[in-house]
Amino acid sequence: MSAEILARPALTTLSEDELAFRDAVRAFAEGEIKPLVGKMDHDAQLDSSLLPKLFEMGLMGIETPEKYGGAGGTFMMACLGVEELGRVDASISVLMDVQNTLVTNAFLRWGTEDLKQKYLPRMAREWVGAYCLSESTSGSDAFALKLRAEDRGDKWVLNGSKLWITNGKEASVFLVFANMNPAAGYKGITCFIVEKDMPGFTVGKKEDKLGIRASSTCELLFENCEVPKANVLGEVGKGYKIAIETLNEGRIGIGAQMVGIAQGAYEATLAYVQTREQFGKAIATNQGVQFQIAEMRTSLEAARLMVYNAARLKDAGQPFIEEAAMAKLFASRAAEKITSLAIDLYGGNGFTKEYPVEKFWRDAKIGQIYEGTTNMQLQTIAKMELSQLK
Annotated catalytic sites, by residue? 371
DSSP assignment letter at 389: T
**Dihedral in degrees, nearest 10, Cα atoms 296, 300, 301, 305:** 160
Residues 6+ apart with CB under 8 A from 374: 329, 332, 333, 368
Q: Tally the residues of the chain.
A: 390
Distance (Å) of CA 163 to CA 43, 137, 221: 21, 9, 9
Buried b (16+ CB within 10 A) or exposed e, 190-216: bbbbbeeebeebebeeebebebbbbbb
Written as one string, the DSSP assignment of 292-317 is HHHHHHHHHHHHHHHHHHHHHHHHTT
Q: Collect all residues with Cβ–Cβ distance below 8 Å to 88 and sequence separation of at least 6.
A: 29, 30, 33, 34, 37, 260, 264
* Closest to 231 (Cα-Cα) out of 171, 175, 289: 175
Radius of gyration of the chain (CA): 21
